[in-house]
Amino acid sequence: MTRTAKDISGKYRTLIRKVAWGILLTGVIASLATLIPLSFYISQSQERTGLTYASAQAMSVQKQLQHYQSIAKQFASRTQIRKALIAYSAGDIDLDQVANETINRIADAAAFIPNLAAGIRITNSGETIAEYNGPASDLLDFDLSKNIPQLRAYGLHYVNLADNLFISAAAPIVDDDNRIIGIDILLFGPTEVLDILRELNTFGQDTNFRLVNSRERLYIEFDQVSNQLKQREFGSGENFYIAAYGSAPFVYRDTSKDDTRLHYFIPFNDSAWGLVVIHADTSLFGALITEFASVGFVIIMTVAIGAWWLHKYSQPIIRAQLAQHKQLHESNRKLKLANTVFEKAQEAIVITDNGLMVLRVNQAFAELFNLGVDNFRDTSLLAFLDKERMTNDIQRQVRRHIVKNDSWQGEVWYKKPNGDSFPALQTITAVRNDKGEALQLIHIFNDISAEKHDQERMQQLALTDTLTHLPNRFAVLQHLDDAIKRTHTSKRSCALLFFDLDFFKPVNDTHGHDVGDALLQAVGPRVRECLRSTDIVGRLGGDEFIILLEHIQTRSDIEKIANEVIDALQRPFRVGSLTLQIGASMGVALYPEHADTPKQLLKIADAAMYRAKEAGRNQFFFAE
């Protein structure tokens, strides 16, 4: 063997030893790299699972509390007694009149809420308007009026009154300008929350559930001895981790005692309260170390044996050939994969030259235009653009952006051979050579017609009253604003007719809400019979409707339409087997004579309507 051959042989053996040691070290590092992240993953997975479980349990408690808050908001929004409070705030009536108008209506409503112990309505200055009992008033063994200072005038709270725990829900009462003029405070018994916590605490001795108020440093838990909810303050030993409870779900590991315990905290929305699930920590790290030690030993032995066989039987030329073969095979695999992705992709893909001449399209692109793949060869992509929407200025902006940033993404409108246009969310990427010259452009896009349709449908739903399918309050204000702008430009006037159904409440109370809803649905078509095609009828809420008239020449035109509408609404309505008789009182406000904003017109027309109602109903009054 020559010296050169010996040198080559020695270098080869050295290379084999280095490869063997590299493989061994790689096996060890791979084992550690797997063990460490996996241990963290298991720990995090345990915490995520605990948070998911706690969230599921918190949902039932929060749903019940949100139900109480919803009831309070419904009480605060009752139209008739809210109007009485508005009149009191304006100085039109005194406190006794407000109380007489309120107590019977609100007490009737309270009778249908099983867990309501009591309620109180106060003004924004703290004066008591009405105090009433609910079906659960037997839980009260004390005078509620003497405990009013303990009740919170906002949100949801747990209140300890005479050693009994209650849930208070408060909601503001606002006037038409959204100013707070009063507050409804409802006091609910703890029975339903007690049942939920009692059920939760039956899952096992290692798990404990608490309702925690991190702001006031107290918690409520189910006492299995007394079978009641108990409110307790955090002790000195617990104050160090109460500060950790914040406004986002998290896991706190308490190591202050002999056994580590996990605190899974789920905060309630819009509240300082949350649910804490306390559970003993069970670690799998020790068992994981043992298992991976065994696996690591097997890996090391296997790698050592493989290195020995490699050292004995492999030859440099074979390794070179295998490497070359692997490289060619990998290149072919990538090419096939790229071609498969191009052909099978759900997204439409087209490749063009720098002048937008089509070089290749996939099947998804061809299906968008209902054409075959071969129909796009030697054609320009510009031929398929919707020229009315994609103007030359827009095309130039896109080109400038690609030149500067190598890519562009946005909405592009195309037109099919049958003339139908559709929007696409398109991404354009430039492919450059070594000199930086753009040789090709890759276009990837999706048809977003369905998303556009859903967006337009959601916008329509937001502007439509769900019961009558008439424009709702938001849409009415938009129509008013648009009409004012048009009227201001044309120097003409427009009229707002605000009417309220007379004798609708007796129909609702006697025959039920289903009949009342059917009657409300019949009002719109009846009123449209009296209007022009350009006039708008909408529903503000309850039994209140509006009519918007534009291009009015004289007041006699308005009076004619108003009389026809009132006469039409006095005609009997047929709902199922029932024949119902109602009427309407109407107020009329003109722009720009009476007001120059939509809200002012509504307010003035509403006032005129009440004058018509007080004057005997079934008539209309112009605003003063």
| Angle made by CA atoms 159, 162, 165, in degrees to the nearest 5 | 35
Taking the C-alpha atoms of residue 349 and residue 363, their distance in angstroms, rounded to an integer, is 8
Q: Are 584 and 543 in contact (CB under 8 A)?
A: no
Residue 128 backbone zone (phi > 0: left; psi -120 to 50: alpha; other: beta):
beta
Tokens for 205, please give them.
């001795």
pLDDT band of residue 4 (cuts 50, 70, 90) is very low
Which residue shows structure tokens 């044996």? 305
Length of the chain in residues, anyone?
624
In this predicted structure, what is the pLDDT of residue 3?
Answer: 53
For residues 449 and 614, which has the higher predicted lDDT (pLDDT)?
Answer: 614
State phi, psi for 561 to the nearest 5 degrees.
-65, -40
76: nearest Cα among 181, 156, 167: 181
For residues 599 and 368, which has the higher predicted lDDT (pLDDT)?
Answer: 599
End-to-end CA distance of the chain: 122
Handedness of CA 392, 396, 398, 399 (dihedral sign): positive
What percent of the chain has a predicted confidence (pLDDT) above 70?
A: 74
DSSP letter for 248, please: S
In this predicted structure, what is the pLDDT of residue 585?
Answer: 96
pLDDT at 348 over 60: yes
Residue 316: how many other CB atoms lie within 10 Å: 12
Beta bridge partners, 254, equal 261
Tokens for 215, please give them.
């702001």
pLDDT at 19 over 70: no
Residue type for position 473? R
Q: What is the mean pLDDT of the chain?
A: 79
In this predicted structure, what is the pLDDT of residue 478?
Answer: 93
Bond preceding residue 592 cis, omega within 30 of 0: yes
The listed range with the strongest mean pLDDT (148-152, 301-305, 458-462, 614-618) is 614-618
In this predicted structure, what is the pLDDT of residue 282?
Answer: 63
Q: What is the pTM of this model?
A: 0.39
The listed range with the strongest mean pLDDT (73-77, 155-159, 434-438, 513-517) is 513-517
Tokens for 299, please give them.
């890996």
Taking the C-alpha atoms of residue 165 and residue 197, their distance in angstroms, rounded to an integer, is 14
Mean pLDDT in residue range 474-494 = 88
Query: Over the stretch 35-55, which tens digit does the pLDDT of each residue have?
Result: 667 666 666 666 677 667 667
DSSP per-residue codes, 2-21: -HHHHHHHHHHHHHHHHHHH
Give CA separation, 49 vs 42, 52, 53, in Å.
Answer: 10, 5, 6
For residues 40 and 595, which has the higher predicted lDDT (pLDDT)?
Answer: 595
Q: Are 586 and 482 in contact (CB under 8 A)?
A: no
pLDDT at 258 over 80: no
166: nearest Cα among 182, 151, 153, 155: 151
For residues 496 and 345, which has the higher predicted lDDT (pLDDT)?
Answer: 496
DSSP letter for 617, please: S
Mean pLDDT in residue range 244-250 = 64
Taking the C-alpha atoms of residue 538 and residue 336, their distance in angstroms, rounded to an integer, is 61
pLDDT at 578 over 90: yes
| Angle made by CA atoms 498, 566, 619, in degrees to the nearest 5 | 75
229: nearest Cα among 135, 152, 158, 151: 158
Mean pLDDT in residue range 349-354 = 85
Give CA separation, 466 vs 462, 515, 538, 541, 560, in Å.
Answer: 9, 16, 12, 11, 30
Query: Over the stretch 230-241, which tens digit does the pLDDT of each residue have?
Result: 666 666 555 445
Q: Are 423 and 411 in contact (CB under 8 A)?
A: yes
pLDDT band of residue 23 (cuts 50, 70, 90) is low
Q: Please report how the helices 3-76 and 285-313 are oriented relative to each other, as an axis angle in degrees rounded to 10.
A: 150
pLDDT at 614 over 70: yes
Query: Over the stretch 356-392, which tens digit does the pLDDT of each residue have?
Result: 888 888 888 888 787 777 777 778 888 888 878 887 8
Handedness of CA 143, 147, 152, 157 (dihedral sign): negative
pLDDT at 454 over 50: yes
pLDDT band of residue 601 (cuts 50, 70, 90) is very high
Taking the C-alpha atoms of residue 603 and residue 621, their distance in angstroms, rounded to an integer, is 14
Mean pLDDT in residue range 326-342 = 73
In this predicted structure, what is the pLDDT of residue 551?
Answer: 87
Scanning 206-260, the segments in alpha helix (DSSP H) are: 239-242
Question: Can you list the domains of the chain with their CATH numbers?
Answer: 77-189 (3.30.450.20), 345-449 (3.30.450.20), 463-622 (3.30.70.270)
Residue 62: how many other CB atoms lie within 10 Å: 20
Tokens for 356, please give them.
């937008």
The DSSP bridge pattern shows strands 583-591 and 620-622 to be parallel
Which residue shows structure tokens 């050292």? 311
Mean pLDDT in residue range 517-543 = 94
Query: Over the stretch 407-416, which tens digit does the pLDDT of each residue have?
Result: 888 888 888 8
602: nearest Cα among 554, 528, 545: 545
The DSSP bridge pattern shows strands 493-502 and 536-541 to be unpaired
In this predicted structure, what is the pLDDT of residue 573?
Answer: 95
Burial of 601 (C-beta count, 10 Å sphere; 0-12/13-18/19+): buried
For residues 524 and 37, which has the higher predicted lDDT (pLDDT)?
Answer: 524
pLDDT at 527 over 70: yes
